[in-house]
Amino acid sequence: MEDPGQYLAAMRQTAPLVHNITNYVAMNVMANVLLASGASPAMVHAREEAAEFAGLAQALSINIGTVSPPWAEAMAAAAKVASAQGTPWVLDPVAVGATDYRRALGARLVELRPTAIRGNASEILALAGEAGAGKGADSTESVETAEGAARALARMSGAVIAVTGAVDFVTDGERAARVANGHAMMPRVTALGCSLTGLVAAFLAGQPRFEAVVAALAYFGLAGESAGASASGPGSFQVAFLDALYAIDAEALSAGARIESA
């Protein structure tokens, strides 16, 4: 993909308000990731206001990590508004293969037409109806194992599917790309996948879907590489990672992105 940096520049230019209905673990990490990157996050999940707030935002992310029934109703209501208004929204199906409740909720949210779905390999396999229980929120499968499921899920749902792991895979059902940026420390820090889902939402605001998702993944992975070069473990990695998201500009992203069509 030519010039992924333009999508970072466009996102920073608009500093989109990103509405996130996310999990308790991710809230702080994700809000900091979005702020460091140049977006404007708001974590809003009450049933009484989620739909109204979705109507104000430029993008929405929905993450089922610590869901319970009132949150599920807020998620569905917000997703309906976003889809009706043409606001991009991204689903993060955390541990969707683990329980019947998550499987049913995942299927219900997919029916509400997310613009993109971002998950690890086990989650994308499970959401596509294939095996892939995962180990709670962590993947037990490689990204390559989930590529076929990702293509099928893209065609079935109409969403761009991003499967993340050592090398990320993105497809809209027709086109596909691999993003090799990233660092092995990233899965040792909680909620980075969740935070990436919010960032994907931010990049999608007003931008073409496939390109925006690929650029968001490359930017996130490149920040991971930069942080990994100086960190001595997962603790210092988190701090260096926020600094790297802040420091990387459009030129650095275009120079450092490792994207190949697949």
Which residues of this protein are in contact with Mg ion, per CB under 5 A? 94, 193
Q: Helix (H, G, I), strand (E, B), or coil: what is residue 114?
A: coil
Q: How far is residue 91 from each of residues 101, 113, 152, 164, 254, measured CA to CA in Å?
A: 16, 10, 16, 14, 26
Question: Is the CB of 1 or the CB of 95 nearer to Mg ion?
Answer: 95
Name the token pair of 80: 């309906």
- Residue 129: its H or E element: none
Which residue, 16 or 93, is less far from Mg ion as judged by CB?
93
Residues 172-201 that bind ligand ATP (CB under 6 A): 182-184, 186-187, 190-194, 196
Question: Do the annotations mark residue 102 as ligand-binding?
Answer: no
Q: What is the layout of strands, in order, in the sheet containing 176-179?
A: 40-43, 17-21, 59-63, 89-92, 116-120, 160-164, 168-171, 176-179, 259-261
Query: Known binder of ligand: residue 164?
Result: yes
Encode burial over 2-27: b for 16+ CB neighbours within 10 A, e otherwise: eebbebbebbeebbbbbbbbbbebbb
CA 103 to chain centre: 19
For residues 117 and 162, the answer to whether their CB atoms sit within 8 Å is: yes
Q: Counting contacts by CB under 6 A, is residue 191 touching ligand Cc1ncsc1CCO?
A: yes
Q: Say how many residues touch ligand ATP, by CB under 6 A.
A: 23
Nearer to ligand ATP, 55 or 225 (CB): 225
Q: Does 140 bind ligand Cc1ncsc1CCO (CB under 6 A)?
A: no
The item of Mg ion, ligand Cc1ncsc1CCO, ligand ATP, none sharing an interface with residue 25, based on CB under 5 to 8 Å by kind, is: ligand Cc1ncsc1CCO
| 191 belongs to an annotated ligand binding site | yes
DSSP SS3 for 161: strand
In the complex with ligand ATP, which residue's Cβ is closer, 76 or 143?
143
CB of 81 or CB of 109, closer to ligand ATP: 109
* Contacts (CB under 6 A) with ligand ATP, residues 217-236: 220-221, 224
Contact code string over 51-90 relative to ligand Cc1ncsc1CCO, x by CB under 6 A: --------------xx------------------------
Contacts for 156 with CB less than 8 Å, ≥ 6 apart: 128
**Residues tagged in the binding site annotation for ATP:** 118, 164
**Residues tagged in the binding site annotation for substrate:** 43, 191
**Residues tagged in the binding site annotation:** 43, 118, 164, 191
What residues make contact with ligand ATP under the rule CB under 6 A?
94, 120, 137-139, 164-166, 168, 182-184, 186-187, 190-194, 196, 220-221, 224
